[in-house]
Chain A
Amino acid sequence: MKKTALIILLTALAVAALLSPFAASSPDGLERVAQDQGFLDKGDRQALDSPITDYLFPGIQNEKAATAAAGVLGTMLTFGAVYILGRVITSRKVESETKLQSTSK
């Protein structure tokens, strides 16, 4: 299973590094509707200042390289977040099971 997980992770990184720089840049479905219906500008002001906007890693001149770097970073960040979350919730499960066993004795 570990090997399978590793292959999927490498595939994800390959998609982020090699395919994402060549993604279509046209507006997505919702942006298109917003554009056609004239309310796209209402989304101009964002509540948050994110460290990376438009999936371009700051400080990298080449746009394709900047996209690839942002993609790889985000892919690893997502893996890390779900992995840690999974660890936390399953360890809580073990605790609650132990508690259950000790109270049933």
Chain B
Amino acid sequence: MHIPDGFLDAKTWITTAAVGAGALSYSLKKVQETYNERMIPVMGVLAAFIFAAQMVNFPIAGGTSGHLLGATLVTVLLGPWCSGLIISTVLIIQCFFFNDGGLTALGANTLNMAFIGSLTAFVIYKTASSIGQSKNFEKAAIFLSAWASVVVVALAAALELAFSGIVPLNVAIASMLGLHALIGIGEGLITVVVISYVRGVGFSQSWQQKKTGEDEM
């Protein structure tokens, strides 16, 4: 759901760029505080994986496709701020090197996909984890978080398009949410499978040696 140049008006892209930049600098600070250098290779390879996976569009109904967002995937493995930073990096590379997502929309795309996506995933995953801990329950929680992250990001994009006056609000919300409710199913399935795979090849949550006793937030 990379917004290109031309969809957002000046007030919308400037506002979202400011908020997106603020979130990015906060995430840098958070990651700097929380992670030690042992985590760097894993952060790098997960970012690489998200880039690759975002290229693989899967078809959904009605001649439309979707691709992995990855915010839930990285949030479950590394926490929401690290995920925000990683997804932002992917988006910046896509924008500057591959013309995917407009330069004026980079702030909105970062805010939506990197931060709103990761924080939505975090809130739902954390809430679910406090309710149950079984393996299957966790899989369901990951699926739900991934689905919801895509739908909430689609809602954010719909609001930005409507505020830009390019499409009426009710039309934007109905059409974006309808399609992304379907794309979210793909996101959920891929996220569950990839997290199991990454843990299966030896990824361990215990690598996240927190400097402080606080939670990921």
Contacts and interface: CB of A to CB of B under 8 A. Distances in A.
A35 B87 CA distance: 26
A24 interface: yes
Contact of A75 (B51, B63, B202): B51
Nearest to A33: B175
Given A4-B202, A82-B44, A90 B36 contact: yes
Contacts of B56: 15, 19-20, 22-23
Given A44-B6, A87-B37, A78 B64 contact: no
B148 to A, nearest CB: 15
Interface in B11-45: 28, 31-33, 35-45
Contact of A92 (B1, B32, B47, B203): B32
Overall SS of chain A's interface: helix
Interface in A16-63: 16, 19-20, 22-30, 32-34, 36-37, 39, 42-55
A36 B198 CA distance: 38
B103 interface: yes
B175 A16 contact: no
A77 B93 CA distance: 8
A3 B202 contact: yes
Contacts of B38: 1
Interface stretch (B118-126, B137-145, B165-173): B165-173
A77 B97 contact: yes
B79 interface: no
Contact of B95 (A28, A48, A77): A48
A54 B176 contact: no
A74 B7 contact: no
A51 B57 contact: no
A90 B48 CA distance: 20
Given A24-B59, A29-B154, A46-B5, A79 B64 contact: no
A8 B157 contact: no
A33 B179 contact: yes
A98 interface: no
